[in-house]
Amino acid sequence: MQDWLNSVSSKQASYHALAQYYQSMVSKESKEFGEEIARLKVGHLLTLLVALCFEEDKQDMCCQYLHFKTNKQHNNVSKFVLLV
């Protein structure tokens, strides 16, 4: 069960990162460059978080955060990655 949850949480974060990328392209077309950069940073941090989930020594911590994140705002991602 835990492996399934880890896999689903990682996929969710990956798709969220991809959505941030596409929304950054919309922001770029609207000439909202600050929002574009912010979305790219969030997407990048989510991608790093997913990559960390596949490292044995950090897997539990990352996946616990991803489970926690589903109930919280996505702005906590940067705080977590800075702690790692």
CA distance 33 to 7: 33
The upper half-sphere exposure of residue 57, i.e. CA atoms within 13 Å in the direction of its Cβ, equals 1
Number of C-beta neighbours around residue 24 at 10 A: 21
**55 compared with 70, residue with greater pLDDT:** 55
What number is the average pLDDT over the span 76-82?
47
Work out the burial of residue 35: count CB atoms within 10 Å of its CB; fewer than 13 is exposed, 13-18 middle, 19 or more buried: middle
Model pTM? Answer: 0.67
**62 compared with 30, residue with greater pLDDT:** 30
